[in-house]
Amino acid sequence: MTIDRWLGRISIDSPSPFVKQIPTIIGFLIAIGVMLLPLSPGPTNTLFFYLGVALAVVATVVSFAFPWRRLRAEWSILIPVLSLIAVGLFRLGTGGSNSPYGALLLLPFVWIATEEGRINAVIAALGTFLVLLGPLVASTVPTTVGDLVRAIFSPLIYMIVAVVINEIAHRVRVQLAAANEAAKQRKELLEQAVRSQDELVLNESRLKTANRLIQSIWNAVTEQSVIGTDLDGLIDVWNPGAEKMLGLTEKQALEGHRHIIEFHLASELEERLRDMDARVQTVSSAEDFSALVDAVRSGYADVRDWTYVRADGKLVPVQVAATPRLDENGHRVGFIFVATDMTQAREFARLKDEFVGLISHELRTPLSSILGYLELMRDDEDDPLSQEQLQYLGVAERNAHRLLRLVGDLLFTAQVESGRFPLEQKDLELGPLVTASVESARPVATNAGVALTAELPEESVTIFGDPLRIGQSIDNLVSNAIKFTPSGGRVTVALSRDGGDAVIAVTDTGIGIPAVELGQLSNRFFRASTATRNAVPGVGLGLTITKAIVTAHGGSIDIASEEGVGTTISLRLPLEVAATAALDGGR
């Protein structure tokens, strides 16, 4: 083992037994050095002298070589006890009670007395007593009373000193521990402050970067108008898209203390308020603003079609998504209105509907002609067809009729989108209509292995409506329910009254519809993912047509479904109020 590794055992922060032993070794070396001087007396008893020196060397070697860190700290007291015995032997070998080197006793005595624990003060006092009493026991000269007094009085004084030293050392340790703990806490606080400062600088840098990015994105949003208001509707946010759409700069919009309703058609706000059952005899700005944010105040995002009025008076059809503005505590402090210009989209939709209507009209004529000639071929008595030819002819007729129905649906949806389709309304009893629809669909249900039943009330349920269109709506729902219900399932068509409404509910135990897709079912050509996965035939027009018919009769359609469980679609039609025919043209 090298010297460096030996020296590495010395602890500077917490003194090891060897470090504490150094003063005692230095004291012995000084005593031996003094004895070597020409006029100094030598040892009076060489045996005790050499035993004392040898024991001091042993204590020193043990203090250095022994792995004290593996033991409890209390065991290190053995070193000063050995040193105390070594001082006693050294004192016996250099004159006993008259030895000039008795002061060496203080070095191990102080070490023992300063150790933690009151017992060490007792050990220090008892060891001192034995060392001072030793010369009297070993001496051949008769002991005097004075010697006995010194042998008893001195240890008592040493014991008092040991107690005082022990108490002082204890208090110093407590203060030192408190100081170390305080220093540790200050260091931790300093390190924490440095980390916080670094995090603050980093977060500040990130915040600046995020602000620059947000500002860049904000300035890049020029196709959507983003307007922010407070809780009362006063505008405090105005993006470049709003400037482009409404013809006002941000400065003009914010400095003018403008209200959001200034950019809306008053007639649309009043119509919305009527839908909300609000009183509109004298409409205030607060009531007008409620028309925009009523759903948002209830906790829902609201997407609705409106018409914006530009600063120059030009009208802009828009779709507006209204959402709440929240502060850092989650409290609502205002509203955000994100508007998309629908001018081109609506023009495109109009052209598309015109195209669909035109194509539908153009297709119906040749299809009708084809069906007419197919019927002539079937009824030709002069040149009758063979059984195989009749089979082929039947396939062609079925597909031609199917294509004609599809063309009819396309034409009807085009009429719906254009806002005009014919209704021939009269007093209509719904019970026979439901029964007829169920009986018409029963063969299809039987072939599919689906149980089809109707539930009708005992009393008559009558509305003011178009028999053909209401029957078409019921047929669409029953047909869809059968298509989406696997073999062994059940479809129920129930007619009932609910307050002032007649309710026709078609319930199936089919494949169901994902919840996220329910809002899209009435869109043209939309098909649920469950339908496409299960390869259910269809083009996605049935519910679109049904919703248009029900809406034209002043009613509504409700859809409830759970994937893998089934679907219920309910038609609500007013019992006594004649249809407003919002899409009523052509009568």
In terms of average pLDDT, the best of 3-17, 268-282, 310-324 is: 310-324
Is the domain 346-418 a CATH 1.10.287 member? Answer: yes
What average pLDDT does range 180-207 have in this prediction? 87
CA distance 326 to 461: 49
What average pLDDT does range 518-532 have in this prediction? 53
Task: Return the minimum-mean-pLDDT range out of 125-139, 199-213, 215-229, 544-558.
Answer: 125-139
CA distance 249 to 244: 8
Instruction: For domain 426-574, give its CATH number from 3.30.565.10, 3.30.360.10, 3.90.180.10, 3.40.50.12280.
Output: 3.30.565.10
Taking each helix axis from N to C terminus, what angle separates 145-220 and 106-114, rounded to the nearest 10 degrees?
Answer: 50
* Average pLDDT over the chain, rounded to an integer: 77
Query: Per-residue pLDDT tens for 22-71?
Result: 888 888 888 888 888 877 777 888 888 888 888 888 888 888 887 877 77
In sequence order, the β-bridge partners of residue 501 are 498, 574
Looking at residue 445, its pLDDT comes to 87
Looking at residue 69, its pLDDT comes to 75
Quickly state the pLDDT bin for 148 (edges 50, 70, 90). Answer: low
In terms of average pLDDT, the best of 124-128, 165-169, 503-507 is: 503-507
In single-letter form, the type of residue at position 541 comes to: L
**512 or 319, which is more confident?**
319
- By the 8 A CB rule, do 545 and 412 touch? yes
Domain assignments of the chain as residue spans, ordered by start: 3-186, 222-341, 346-418, 426-574
- By the 8 A CB rule, do 493 and 434 touch? yes
In sequence order, the β-bridge partners of residue 562 are 566
Looking at residue 361, its pLDDT comes to 58
Residue 315 has pLDDT above 50, yes or no: yes
How far CA 9 is from CA of 12, 18, 64, in Å, comes to 10, 9, 8
Residue 283 has pLDDT above 50, yes or no: no
Looking at residue 378, its pLDDT comes to 74
In this structure, the number of other CB atoms found within 10 A of the CB of residue 312 comes to 8
What average pLDDT does range 346-365 have in this prediction? 64
Name the superfamily (CATH) of residues 222-341.
PAS domain (3.30.450.20)
Task: Return the minimum-mean-pLDDT range out of 40-54, 298-312, 508-522, 544-558.
Answer: 508-522
Sign of CA dihedral 125, 128, 130, 135: negative
Return the H-helix or E-strand segment holding 548: helix 542-552
What average pLDDT does range 116-130 have in this prediction? 76
**193 or 362, which is more confident?**
193
Looking at residue 349, its pLDDT comes to 65
**277 or 573, which is more confident?**
573
Q: Which of 145, 146, 151 is nearest to 130 (CA)?
A: 151
Residue 412 has pLDDT above 80, yes or no: no
Quickly state the pLDDT bin for 397 (edges 50, 70, 90). Answer: confident
What average pLDDT does range 101-120 have in this prediction? 79
Looking at residue 542, its pLDDT comes to 64
Quickly state the pLDDT bin for 13 (edges 50, 70, 90). Answer: very low
CA distance 166 to 162: 6
Query: Per-residue pLDDT tens for 58-107?
Result: 888 888 887 877 777 778 778 888 888 888 788 887 877 777 877 788 78
Looking at residue 164, its pLDDT comes to 76
**178 or 361, which is more confident?**
178
Residue 554 has pLDDT above 70, yes or no: yes
| Phi, psi of 567, deg, nearest 5 | -140, 145
How far CA 444 is from CA of 73, 272, 485, 494, 513, in Å, comes to 96, 44, 12, 19, 22
CA distance 279 to 89: 115
- By the 8 A CB rule, do 120 and 167 touch? no
- By the 8 A CB rule, do 495 and 434 touch? yes
- By the 8 A CB rule, do 285 and 233 touch? yes
In terms of average pLDDT, the best of 7-21, 50-64, 202-216, 541-555 is: 50-64
Looking at residue 181, its pLDDT comes to 87
In sequence order, the β-bridge partners of residue 306 are 318
**pTM > 0.85: yes or no:** no
Pairing verdict, β 451-455 and 490-498: parallel
Looking at residue 11, its pLDDT comes to 44
Common-topology check for domains 346-418 and 426-574: no
What average pLDDT does range 131-157 have in this prediction? 64
Share of the chain above pLDDT 90, in %: 2
Task: Return the minimum-mean-pLDDT range out of 480-484, 516-520, 573-577.
Answer: 516-520
What average pLDDT does range 512-541 have in this prediction? 55
Task: Return the minimum-mean-pLDDT range out of 3-12, 434-443, 471-480, 578-587.
Answer: 578-587
Residue 414 has pLDDT above 70, yes or no: no
Looking at residue 352, its pLDDT comes to 65
Measured at the CA of 329, the angle between CA 327 and CA 330, to 5 degrees, comes to 70
Looking at residue 365, its pLDDT comes to 65
Residue 190 has pLDDT above 80, yes or no: yes
3-state SS track over 353-379: HHHHHHHHHHHHHHHHHHHHHHHHHHH
